[in-house]
Amino acid sequence: MKIAAEVDALIRASIKEDLGREGDLTTRYFVPRDKKLYGRVVAKQRGIISGVGVAKAIFIVRGCRVKVHLRDGSPAAPGRTVMEIWAGRELLSLERTALNFLQRMSGVATLTSLYVRAVRGTRAKIYDTRKTIPGWRLLDKYAVKCGGGQNHRMGLYDAVLLKDNHWAAGMGVVAQVRKLRRDHPRTLVELEAATLAQVERALEARPDVVLLDNMDRATLKKAIRVIRARSKAEIEISGGVSLETVGALARLGPDRISVGRLTHSAPALDLSLEVE
């Protein structure tokens, strides 16, 4: 992946966080200054790799030489080498920072791939949300793409999503959507609905996407029928979606299913750095 300026800043901040003012005291006192080391990042479990470019950038910061074996989006089996690193003792100082990025991103990609597989054969695509680690959004959403998922809006600035709190606190929705489209004609407009009555209200504004939030199965079926009959809007399902339920939800016929746990609850992929 190309390292964006904000990701580069995050990399450098993460290295500084670990080294602090004194640097790596363990390595300084117990590993010879001129020691040459060789390391391999190895997969310990099956999954999808993401974050190779970030891990490589971390090692390169201190002059390490890196050879990548598995690119982002590649499947990894236990025992497979992800990358090789040739370095001095700084390899030991950078090990945990590099693995933190690589394991986290690969975990997101792996979980996403499981959801994508669960809806295969339906029209539904798996989308992420804004439930990301602060400062990590570019990386979290990149990892979702590596796992075969789709990115929802990046932030509050690139799409409109009118949720329940906006309905409660806001102005006339139809008039405001019209004003928004005049001011921002290319901006996607999505309206959330938790009841059939809210679906009716949402359709009056002619949104691009209707988000059906936390509805039971029977209400979802009715809502999807109403929207398909009256609008060309895409239909998104969200709220408490799990691997156990996502397949059945996809078979109801939505275009999109958004899953917050892709980025807020993905377990890290088990990877290790073996040093010789």
Residue 235 DSSP one-character state: E
- C-beta of residue 239 within 8 angstroms of C-beta of residue 217: no
Whether the Cβ atoms of residue 207 and residue 191 lie closer than 8 Å to each other: yes
Best CA proximity match to 99, nearest among 274, 276, 273, 275: 273
Residue 133 CB partners (closer than 8 Å, separation 6+) = 140, 263
Which run of H or of E encompasses 192? strand 188-193
Which of 99, 94, 91, 54 is closest to 72 using CA atoms?
54
Query: How would you classify residue 243: left for phi > 0, otherwise alpha for psi between -120 and 50, otherwise beta?
Result: alpha
Tokens representing 272? 């290790």
Q: Parallel, antiparallel, or unpaired for β 47-48 and 81-87?
A: unpaired
Contact yes or no for 213/239 (Cβ under 8 A) = yes
Query: Tokens 């004609």 — which residue?
Result: 185
- Contact between residue 181 and residue 205 where contact means Cβ atoms under 8 Å apart: no
The CB-side HSE value for 200 (13 A sphere, CA atoms) comes to 4
Contact in structure between 208 and 178 (CB atoms under 8 Å): no
Residues labelled catalytic? 96, 131, 163, 192, 213
